[in-house]
Structure 1
Amino acid sequence: MKVLFVASECTPFIKTGGLADVVGALPKELQNEDYDVRVVIPKYEGIREDLKQQMTHIYSGSAPVGWRNQFVGVEKLVKDGITFYFIDNEYYFKREGLYGYYDDAERFAYFNRAVLEMLPNIDFQPDIIHCNDWQASLIPLFLKTHYHDSSFYEETKTVFTIHNLKYQGIFPKEVLYELLGLGDEHFTVDSIEFHGNVNYLKSGISHANVLTTVSETYAKEIQNPYYGEQLDGLLRARSEELYGIVNGIDYEEYDPMKDENLSFPYRSSRIKKQKNKTELQEQLGLQVDEEIPMIAIVTRLVEQKGIDLITHIFDDLLQRNVQIVLLGTGDYHYEQFFREAANHYPEKVSTHITFNEGFSRRLYAASDLFLMPSRFEPCGLGQLISLRYFSVPIVRETGGLVDTVQPFDEDTLEGNGFSFTNYNAHDLLFTINRALTIYNDKALWTSLFNNIKKSNYSWNKSAKEYLNLYDQVVNSSKITVKS
């Protein structure tokens, strides 16, 4: 079977968030003797020069964008056994950053058409085109409109994955004619129309053969108005084709035993982990004491991530014997809050308004607890990385956090973290206090630590679910991997 992943970002080439991690890791897990899995993304200016130097030009052509034809260059690179294609058009992609431009509607309409124009010319005919998020969501619609009479695509099926329903790609109605080359017959509530606008994500939901999202719980949540972002009705209508498959992480990429960022690599040694903590305490100017629990926050500083809950209880939390280290960027008022907190509590709080991958690994390795009280979380990667580095997660029970963090029970000694249900600051404080109490009980903390040793959130199990889904989509048989 041949599978093509289409996405707007992918590690190790370019990344703004968890989508890149998924697209970088999952194809490697899927690839085997029976599956030829490949990936295509835009060729951005921000891709490292050494990676660009390894690319080989394999095709030049064009793709229609409304009434115009735009150049399509295709470059190829094989890395870690996976073939990657890069859509090369400097007008659209030779820019700083990936998103947020005035012509994003045009840039990604072009990208979708370029992929479909590319495939017949590079000797790769996929059985499945696996589209990811709104930037790749037009392919299922284009296959039914512009390519409906193409013998090349006659047997091709589409899988569309929603990584975060909040980001939809909503643009004015004129996009339908000027960029997509479609007429009013497609501007309907069961296709691409959305409150008088064009909604790219809705197009993928409406027209793909099968829909997936990144955890079982999120697949259920988004069918309800609170989480559904005004698409819950459509998602309920397609519930029979909607599957929740939880994300994993690349256990080779995230391995505290092989992580070059750590001074003290470890497999599951608490002693080595504490050495990473005391080293970081000294470097950050915090009180150096391996017994003081360190809480890590590695996140975007936005409301979705529960930052308002954290700020509400911050002064109360600092009455406890804890240290808090924050790494992230986001809304200005949250950035200022944590800067001021570090100024007021220099021995207890260390704030880093940036993103630094190496520092994040050191923080996961050094911290005892990892705070992630999200308002909603499709899957979340932070809690999976924290478990890999034995930093115990404290999460709110939503989305993938429910599916991956089981609350610790002092009586049964089962569970790998701590969680709370209601989106409430005092419930968060209560849960943190409970976690600190367990931390100070060496026997209970050892039981919790040992449970984390048994946790496995590599891609292995989820990849098998995707392979099962692909097989059944292609064979048009009844799909049985339903969450």
Structure 2
Amino acid sequence: MLSLSVTSEIFPLVKTGGLGDVTGALPKALASFGVSTRTLVPGYSNIRRLIKDQPPLLVFEDLLGEWAALYAVSVHGLDLFVLDAPQLFDRPGGPYVDEHGQDHPDNWKRFAVLSLAAAEIAVGSLPGWVPDVVHTHDWQTALTSVYLRHMDCETPVVLTIHNIAFQGQFSAALLPLIGLPATVMSTDCMEYYGDISYLKGGLTTSNMITAVSPTYAREILSPRFGMGMEGVLNQRKHILRGIVNGIDSEIWNPATDPHLFTRFDQKTIGLKRLNKTDLQNQFGLDNDDGPLFAAITRITWQKGMDMLAEAASEIIEGGGKLIVLGQGDKALEQTLVETAQRYPGRMAVKIGYDEETAHRIHGGADSVIQPSRFEPCGLTQLYALRYGCVPVVSRTGGLAETIIDANDAAMSAKAATGFQFDPVNTDGLRHALRRALEAYASPRHWRRLQLQAMRAHYSWERSAEQYAALYNMLTHRRSPARSKPVRSLHS
């Protein structure tokens, strides 16, 4: 089976969060189930270097008024289609924001062009390669299915929601500029409070919708977590599935991780303390026997970083230390930095993100904290489990799905892997931190938690099998003959 995955980011080439990790790992895992995936990605500056001196497979003279070319490249075990439209994607900053942290003003066009290119590939514009199924991710590529339906193409589309808070909402005045008819400006397609929403367009035209955990799939049907899309999702809940994300167990493996000071596994977990010492030296923290907590996260309200700033004193007064790695809201960044300044030798904050430091934190910290107010899946806690880094998490979304709370029953059953807290507020977080500090005070209990965490199995194998089953179901449902001839919007 041939699958076309369409995404705005993919690890290790471009990543701002879990989306990139998923789109980088899932194609490899799907191969074991007979699915061959090509991933369409924008030609950002670093990706354009991969196609240097190569001939294009296809040239688009007019994609919404823009010239673009399509290239094929294989790198890091991934088969990619690269959409080279330098005027849209080869620019300073990140995938969505400029070098000053502001949204690119033409994001509406950049990701409409990417989606339209995907639709053109799906209808056969590329000789010799036509996918059996298309898999889109979040609002940035959700327009693909809208374009396909207006090309009278029945190729099934799966849309995965990684975070429904981001919806691609733009002025309805842009509708003529993205090449779609006025009929999509309706409540059963793209109309959203007088604007257009790319995500809503995808939700209303895809054949299957997945969320990145079963709990999140249930949560987004409610006003609290649906972010205004709960009505649309309830109308389509018969095609909504929750499939928990996995992790790339080759990249995230403490026994082979090249970023660690000392590698270890379940049998040699005692070596983890050497990584802890190295990590504390790197961040200028005291080298004592107190527990080392860490947060590797976007620094935002969603991630509960304001609560962590308030609860940091619980860790410090309990004899612990804290490292925060991440970036996001400037005011919250400053709050965390100022908090760390009050606790020299006990708390450190590094604004920014890099993979090597993230690996070293997992390898050396005793516990990772994720106090998210909502969390579709979360991957940090899964990486932490792999490294015997006991998670402290809020009871929401994928965090509730993947971490077993260290209550008395779970500890007696030798099943506990971390600490959950609810209600999701500062008091709840403080209570969970106190529980973690108490557990750490008993080396025997803490070691048991670490080993139980490391035994948890969250590779992509089971999740990929579920996606492959969805693909097969959708392609078998597809009628052998199309009701209408497929046409390009530009034919």
Tell me the equivalent position of 1:114. 117
Pick which of 27-36 and 157-166 moved more: 27-36
Distance 1:130 1:275, change over 3 A: same
Following the alignment from structure 2 to structure 1, what is the Cα–Cα distance between the partners of residues 387 and 336? 24
Following the alignment from structure 1 to structure 2, what is the Cα–Cα distance between the partners of residues 157 and 77? 25
- The yes-or-no answer on 1:25 pairing with 2:25 is yes
Tell me the equivalent position of 2:430. 429
Tell me the equivalent position of 1:205. 203
Q: What amino acid maps onto 1:132 in structure 2?
A: H
Following the alignment from structure 1 to structure 2, what is the Cα–Cα distance between the partners of residues 35 and 427? 44
Deviation at 1:82, TM superposition (A): 3.5
Q: For the Cα contact (< 8 Å) 2:210–2:241, is it kept in 1?
A: yes
Q: What amino acid maps onto 1:465 in structure 2?
A: Q
Deviation readout 1:360-416 (Å, 9 max, x if unpaired): 111111100110010000001111111111110000010000111010133423211
Tell me the equivalent position of 2:352. 354
- The yes-or-no answer on 1:450 pairing with 2:446 is no
Tell me the equivalent position of 2:341. 343
Following the alignment from structure 1 to structure 2, what is the Cα–Cα distance between the partners of residues 455 and 73? 44
Q: What amino acid maps onto 1:94 in structure 2?
A: D
Aligned equivalent of 1:126, options 128, 131, 134: 131
Pick which of 125-134 and 78-87 moved more: 78-87
Task: Tell me the SS of whatever aligns to 2:317.
Answer: coil
Following the alignment from structure 2 to structure 1, what is the Cα–Cα distance between the partners of residues 212 and 341? 39
Aligned equivalent of 2:140, options 123, 135, 138: 135
Quote the sequence identity (%): 35
Deviation at 1:64, TM superposition (A): 3.9
Task: Tell me the SS of whatever aligns to 1:116.
Answer: helix
Pick which of 420-429 and 232-241 moved more: 420-429
Distance 1:11 1:229, change over 3 A: same
Deviation at 1:81, TM superposition (A): 4.6
Tell me the equivalent position of 1:90. 86
Following the alignment from structure 2 to structure 1, what is the Cα–Cα distance between the partners of residues 370 and 391? 7
Q: What amino acid maps onto 2:432 in structure 1?
A: T
Q: What amino acid maps onto 1:24 in structure 2?
A: G
After superposition, where does 1:311-322 map in structure 2 within 5 Å? 311-322=309-320
Q: For the Cα contact (< 8 Å) 1:406–1:418, is it kept in 2?
A: yes
- The yes-or-no answer on 1:61 pairing with 2:51 is no
Distance 1:79 1:332, change over 3 A: closer
Deviation at 1:80, TM superposition (A): 4.8
Task: Tell me the SS of whatever aligns to 2:187.
Answer: coil
Tell me the equivalent position of 1:388. 386
Deviation at 1:474, TM superposition (A): 1.2
Deviation at 1:101, TM superposition (A): 1.0
Q: What amino acid maps onto 2:133 in structure 1?
A: I
Deviation at 1:266, TM superposition (A): 1.1
Pick which of 246-255 and 278-287 moved more: 278-287
Deviation readout 1:162-212 (Å, 9 max, x if unpaired): 1100001101111212223312x2211110000000100000000001100
Deviation readout 1:308-350 (Å, 9 max, x if unpaired): 2112222243211001011111222222222222222111111
- The yes-or-no answer on 1:181 pairing with 2:180 is yes
Distance 1:34 1:317, change over 3 A: closer
Following the alignment from structure 2 to structure 1, what is the Cα–Cα distance between the partners of residues 10 and 391? 26
Pick which of 374-383 and 70-79 moved more: 70-79
Q: What amino acid maps onto 1:471 in structure 2?
A: N
Task: Tell me the SS of whatever aligns to 1:243.
Answer: strand
Deviation at 1:116, TM superposition (A): 2.3
Deviation readout 1:11-43 (Å, 9 max, x if unpaired): 122112211110000000001473221111111
Task: Tell me the SS of whatever aligns to 1:130.
Answer: strand
Tell me the equivalent position of 2:69. 73
Q: For the Cα contact (< 8 Å) 2:219–2:225, is it kept in 1?
A: yes
- The yes-or-no answer on 1:397 pairing with 2:390 is no
For structure 1, which runs of at least 5 residues remain unmatched after alignment?
A: 478-483
Deviation at 1:57, TM superposition (A): 2.7
Q: For the Cα contact (< 8 Å) 2:33–2:468, is it kept in 1?
A: no
Following the alignment from structure 1 to structure 2, what is the Cα–Cα distance between the partners of residues 127 and 390? 40
After superposition, where does 1:286-325 map in structure 2 within 5 Å? 286-289=285-288, 291-325=289-323
- The yes-or-no answer on 1:172 pairing with 2:174 is no
Following the alignment from structure 1 to structure 2, what is the Cα–Cα distance between the partners of residues 178 and 419? 47
Q: For the Cα contact (< 8 Å) 2:312–2:322, is it kept in 1?
A: no
Aligned equivalent of 1:330, options 328, 331, 339: 328
Tell me the equivalent position of 2:107. 104
CA RMSD of aligned residues (A): 1.7
Tell me the equivalent position of 1:480. none
Following the alignment from structure 1 to structure 2, what is the Cα–Cα distance between the partners of residues 158 and 330? 32
Task: Tell me the SS of whatever aligns to 2:80.
Answer: strand
Deviation at 1:282, TM superposition (A): 2.4
Following the alignment from structure 1 to structure 2, what is the Cα–Cα distance between the partners of residues 25 and 168? 24
Following the alignment from structure 2 to structure 1, what is the Cα–Cα distance between the partners of residues 55 and 178? 29
TM-score (norm. length: structure 2): 0.91
